[in-house]
Amino acid sequence: MKTAMDLPVEIEEAVNGIEPIRIAKIGRREFLKLTGLVGGGLMLSFTGLRAAATGGALHPNGFLRIDSEGITLYAKNPEIGQGVKTSLPMIVAEELDAAWEDVAVAQSPIDEATYGPQVAGGSNSIRVNWDLLRTAGATARAMLLGAAAVRLGVPPAELATRDSHVVHERTGTRLHYTDLADAAAAMPVPDASRLPLKAPDQYRLLGTRITGVDNEALVRGEPLFGIDQSLPGMKYAVYQKCPAQRGRVKSFNESEIRQLPGIHDVFSLEGNGNPLELMPGVAIVADSTWAALSAKRQLRVDWDETDAAQDSWSDAVAQAGRLRREAGATRVVESGDVDAALAGSAQRLESFYTYHFASHAQLEPQNCVARFANGAVELWAPTQTPHRGIDNVANTLGIPADRVTVHQTRCGGGFGRRLYNDFMCEAAAIATRVDGPVKLQWTREDDMSHDLFRAGGFHQLEGSLDAEGSVTGLRDHFITFADRGRPVSGGSFRPGVFPSGLIDNLRLEETALEWRTRCGAWRAPFSNVFGFVIESFVHELATAAGRDHLEVMLEIFGEPRWLDPGNPRALHTGRAAGVVRLAAERAGWGRAMPAGRGLGLAFYFSHAGHVAEVAEVSVDAEKKIKVHRVTVAADVGPIVNLSGAENQLEGSVIDGLSTMAGLAVTFENGRVEQSNFDAYPMLRMPETPEVDVHFVASDFPPSGLGEPALPPLAPAVCNAVFAATGHRIRTLPISEEGFSIV
Amino acid sequence: MRLNVNGTEHELEGVDPSAPLLWVLRDGLGLVGAKFGCGISQCGACTVLVDGEPVRSCSYPVAAAVEAEVSTVEGLAEPGGELSAVQQAWVDLDVAQCGYCQAGQIMAAEALLRSNPSPTDADIDRAMAPNLCRCGTYLRIRKAIKVAAAQRAEGGRS
């Protein structure tokens, strides 16, 4: 491996006065060319211009710009609270060797040619952008070193970089990057594949605690979020859709609404047939949010519900009860011979688990500012998927994608809801009927009725133990939902799903009930509920065997190995065992507990993250659970921002606890029965447990932390409740079984 | 209608007296720190102070604030000026994730510390319970309030 001091050949040649290889002129600005996925990793090369066009600024790629005024790093992905506006630029700064105090961070424009995919989802930002951002920083560093070598007339090998300076130790010379930017800009942009990158032991910034780059603006109440955007002459709109999703407008009290104060217009929209884009509804345009909201309360719509959702949760419960002991309609995972394992077992267990639908409840209700003129539309949108949003809007309006411009704003929570851009499509469609800019504002009630819900589901489990108490077989019949035969989001097993490859005789099969209401990705999709089911049932098996849960878990992991060699998103049993042991050790696993108090352990693997959690709880006679402490151990490779990483784990624990405690969405006649937070009671400060976070310092490629710490929480708490009381919770939320978190 | 916000008198014309204070602040005065979350006083994202008391401005009619002093997060520090002890603690302890609820949390914390300079954990829990944080930053909020209380006690920032 090259050391950090090796320079790419182009820079060496430039320093030595040799005419560098000319790089093809591609366009007016530098851009990154993504050459595609090879072997699961992102390979990339830089193609760029000589910097003459940048006016003396060093701007070799979209991620940084250095001029005589300072160093600016560009954060490419939407910020939804996962901290990427801070952590992604940290990766650039590390390889650039810029002092963090010298750096200004700006949100990058939405520009796929320059930045590649700009998405907040799948805990992917760190994993996917790691090499890209390291290379971006290292590119500029090499050019600065080359410029310094020329200026000082010394070999590059005598130079080092530190704290935004090129340093020549022998003479004690220090040149600040801002003083070198002009000369560095004239260096050739080196080939990314030849750039030296730091080894982890050379990191100065990564792994430290860095506070969020927007913190000060946040505490001053500055307009960072979508909902805060305002344009001169802007009007305000609301949009009422059928409470049963996909219903159509038959008629509405148009003349009455038109006469209300502050109302500019009221009209219905047909919808474009794609429920992820534009559903039918009635738009009200007003001169203030309040005027629009007030008029919406007076709006009376007669809906045609012929094609609308008719979904009923109570019907689904009844159907699942009838179907659970039957064979599943589809076998997704089949290994070994589970029938033989069950038939020949020393002990056989059967359990039925249920979890409800859940809502994203991101705190900032959907909103979007849109301005349509001359066949083009410009949007200011809190979205997790701006590029997809451009396509959605183009499709909705029937205009080319290059007539759609999206500006990204900070998002008041995402959790998966803002992967879907229906609110952008609505704003764009309304804007075509409004002279000037318009801001669409959803209410909380709109959000609750028109979420893309985390699907509920049912699991009939059977497991077998041999005479030694080892798990020999597992069968899971998942009763889930499909929309006209197509499984809803998160409503289907995927090949390789945990615990595939860990239990010799395994059958995962499913039967889908018809469902029309939209479902979508919800923080750690499917893992957030599968973790509860499988990790609770493994504890049931360990208990039936009379064995220690930790011992049984480690036995299931077996020898350290990748379950899918070469796949960086696969489970590694050694890493799994490592976090389970660490969490158990730090939580004092095995210590004696007083009556009514217990420890519970769980592990789950999702989004390339290995996470184990131990919950310590007390339970009283009224089924009130006090969660004293949750100990978390995670292995996600090197940590980029320790403060952000800890915050994500604390938040995942609290989100997990909040959701398992009392959050359920139910449906009757296609309508959501909960309309606001009074019926969807999220966890509050008094119920918050202590959270004790530990990271395994591993040198695997880094992966994200937005999601993988959520799935183990519910089973850890439920296993602890069992340890404390002997009661096995098999329903989420646990309020359905009479439990509460206090 | 005259409204005093952060020490400045505003003359409001054509405002519906029943309009929630939140929308007058946001749409009318361009003070967007207070946030819309639920519209029914359940989440606290819209928390501002009226005569020093925390209120949920999403369901607080503007007419009720006319004779009072309204304080919003924008009034805690001059633009570009020194942050309040609470604001600074929020920055230093890296409290926020998405940050959407935090202006409301900060105003609730300001109200708490003005009436109770050295709150216990139970005092903090009671005062902050009306304010939801969907991202789950409660542990850092609690710690930041203690840091701010200590700094105020030392006679540093107010």
Residue A335 lies in a domain: yes
What integer pLDDT is reported at residue A27 of this predicted model? 27
Cα distance between residue A352 and residue A553, in whole Å: 21
Residues in chain A closer than 8 A to B17 (CB atoms): none
Residues in chain A closer than 8 A to B98 (CB atoms): 79-81, 362-364, 410-414
Model ipTM over 0.95: yes
Same domain for B89 and B65:
no
Class of residue A307 by CB neighbours under 10 A (exposed 0-12, middle 13-18, buried 19+): middle
B43 interface with A at CB cutoff 8 Å:
yes
What integer pLDDT is reported at residue A17 of this predicted model? 57
Give A377→chain B minimum CA distance, Å: 23
Decide which of A81 and B14 is more confident. Answer: A81
Check if the beta carbon of residue A721 is closer than 8 Å to that of residue A729.
Answer: yes
Tell which of B47, B75, B103 closes a domain.
B75
Same domain for A573 and A671:
yes
Same domain for A318 and A303:
no
**Under an 8 A CB cutoff, do A410 and B79 touch?**
no
Same domain for A335 and A262:
no
- CA torsion angle for B82, B83, B88, B91 (degrees, to 10)? -100
B128 interface with A at CB cutoff 8 Å:
yes
Tell which of B75, B101, B122 closes a domain.
B75
Same domain for B91 and B69:
no
B57 interface with A at CB cutoff 8 Å:
no
Class of residue A52 by CB neighbours under 10 A (exposed 0-12, middle 13-18, buried 19+): exposed
Angle in degrees, CA A327, A331, A336, rounded to 5 = 100
Decide which of B1 and A227 is more confident. Answer: A227
Would you put residue B57 in left (φ > 0), alpha (ψ -120 to 50) or beta? alpha
B96 interface with A at CB cutoff 8 Å:
yes
Cα distance between residue A305 and residue A312, in whole Å: 15
B56 interface with A at CB cutoff 8 Å:
no
In chain B, the number of structural domains is: 2
Same domain for B111 and B52:
no
Residues in chain A closer than 8 A to B34 (CB atoms): 221
What integer pLDDT is reported at residue A362 of this predicted model? 98
Residue B34 lies in a domain: yes
Give B81→chain A minimum CA distance, Å: 10
Residue A432 lies in a domain: yes
**Under an 8 A CB cutoff, do A363 and B45 touch?**
yes
Specify the residue for token string 């006469």.
A259
**Under an 8 A CB cutoff, do A82 and B97 touch?**
yes
Amino acid identity at A569:
R
Same domain for A95 and A178:
yes
Same domain for A386 and A239:
yes
**Under an 8 A CB cutoff, do B27 and A288 touch?**
yes
A650 interface with B at CB cutoff 8 Å:
yes
Same domain for B132 and B100:
yes
User: Comparing C-alpha atoms, which of A711, A731, A463, A476 is closest to residue A602?
Assistant: A711
Same domain for B30 and B9:
yes
- Cis amide bond preceding A155, omega within 30: no
Same domain for A347 and A289:
no
Residue A515 lies in a domain: yes
From the candidates A208, A220, A364, which should be mutated to test the interface with B, based on the most B CB atoms within 10 A? Answer: A220
Same domain for B69 and B119:
no
**Under an 8 A CB cutoff, do A228 and B32 touch?**
yes
Tell which of B21, B51, B75 closes a domain.
B75
> Read out DSSP for A89-120?
HHHHHHHHT--GGGEEEEEPP--HHHHS----
Residues in chain B closer than 8 A to A79 (CB atoms): 98
Cα distance between residue A248 and residue A240, in whole Å: 11
Same domain for A320 and A429:
no
Bridge partners for A483 per DSSP: A486
Give B153→chain A minimum CA distance, Å: 21
Residues in chain B closer than 8 A to A82 (CB atoms): 97
User: Comparing C-alpha atoms, which of A221, A531, A476 is closest to residue A351?
Assistant: A476
Q: Is the torsion defined by CA of A226, A227, A232, A238 positive or negative?
A: positive
Residue A215 lies in a domain: no
Sequence length of chain A is 742
In chain A, the number of structural domains is: 3
End-to-end alpha-carbon separation of chain B, Å?
31
Same domain for A526 and A569:
yes
Tell which of A184, A203, A222 closes a domain.
A203
Residue B147 lies in a domain: yes
Q: Write the CATH number for B134.
A: 1.10.150.120
Decide which of A5 and B23 is more confident. Answer: B23
Q: What residues of chain A, 172 to 201, have a C-beta less than 8 Å from chain B?
A: none
Residue B158 lies in a domain: no
Same domain for A470 and A392:
no
Same domain for A427 and A507:
no
Which residues form the domain of B62?
Answer: 2-75
What integer pLDDT is reported at residue A6 of this predicted model? 63
Confidence (pTM)? 0.94
Residue A631 lies in a domain: yes
Residues in chain A closer than 8 A to B42 (CB atoms): 676-678
**Under an 8 A CB cutoff, do B40 and A225 touch?**
no
- Cis amide bond preceding A733, omega within 30: yes
What integer pLDDT is reported at residue A399 of this predicted model? 98
Q: Write the CATH number for B29.
A: 3.10.20.30
Same domain for A572 and A476:
yes
Same domain for B48 and B95:
no
Cα distance between residue A190 and residue A195, in whole Å: 7
SS (H, E, C) chain B: CEEEECCEEEECCCCCCCCEHHHHHHHHCCCCCCCCCCCCCCCCCCEEEECCEEEEHHHCEHHHHCCCEEECHHHCCCCCCCCCHHHHHHHHCCCCCCCCCHHHHHHHHHHHHHHCCCCCHHHHHHHHCCCCCCCCCHHHHHHHHHHHHHHHHCCCCC
Class of residue A561 by CB neighbours under 10 A (exposed 0-12, middle 13-18, buried 19+): middle
A647 interface with B at CB cutoff 8 Å:
yes
- Beta-strand relationship, A471-483 and A263-269: unpaired
What integer pLDDT is reported at residue A187 of this predicted model? 93
Check if the beta carbon of residue A739 is closer than 8 Å to that of residue A728.
Answer: no
Cα distance between residue B50 and residue B64, in whole Å: 9
What integer pLDDT is reported at residue A569 of this predicted model? 87
B60 interface with A at CB cutoff 8 Å:
no
Cα distance between residue A694 and residue A646, in whole Å: 8
User: Which tokens hold the place of A257?
Assistant: 């609404």
Same domain for B106 and B65:
no
What integer pLDDT is reported at residue A16 of this predicted model? 67
- Tell me if residue A469 falls in helix, strand or coil: coil
User: Comparing C-alpha atoms, which of A610, A642, A638, A639 is closest to residue A709?
Assistant: A610
Check if the beta carbon of residue A484 is closer than 8 Å to that of residue A476.
Answer: no
Same domain for B51 and B23:
yes
User: How many other CB atoms sit within 10 Å of the CB of residue A683?
Assistant: 25
Same domain for B50 and B21:
yes
Bridge partners for A505 per DSSP: A473
Give A146→chain B minimum CA distance, Å: 37
What integer pLDDT is reported at residue A55 of this predicted model? 67
Helix (H) or strand (E) run with residue A367 in it? strand A367-373
Same domain for B93 and B122:
yes
Same domain for B130 and B96:
yes
- Beta-strand relationship, A690-695 and A624-635: parallel
A297 interface with B at CB cutoff 8 Å:
no
**Under an 8 A CB cutoff, do A223 and B32 touch?**
yes
Residue B80 lies in a domain: no
**Under an 8 A CB cutoff, do B132 and A219 touch?**
no
Same domain for A641 and A537:
yes
Residue B12 lies in a domain: yes
Q: Write the CATH number for A732.
A: 3.30.365.10
Which residues form the domain of A517?
Answer: 313-358+453-741
Residues in chain A closer than 8 A to B125 (CB atoms): 685-686
Cα distance between residue B104 and residue B47, in whole Å: 4
Check if the beta carbon of residue A473 is closer than 8 Å to that of residue A342.
Answer: yes
Going from the first residue of chain A to its last (742 residues), give the mean pLDDT of each consecutive group of 10, the final group possibly shorter: 56 59 29 26 31 69 95 96 97 98 96 93 93 96 96 95 97 97 94 90 97 98 98 98 98 98 98 97 98 98 97 98 97 97 98 98 98 98 98 98 97 98 98 98 98 98 98 98 95 93 97 98 98 98 98 98 90 97 98 97 97 98 98 97 98 98 98 98 98 93 96 98 98 98 98
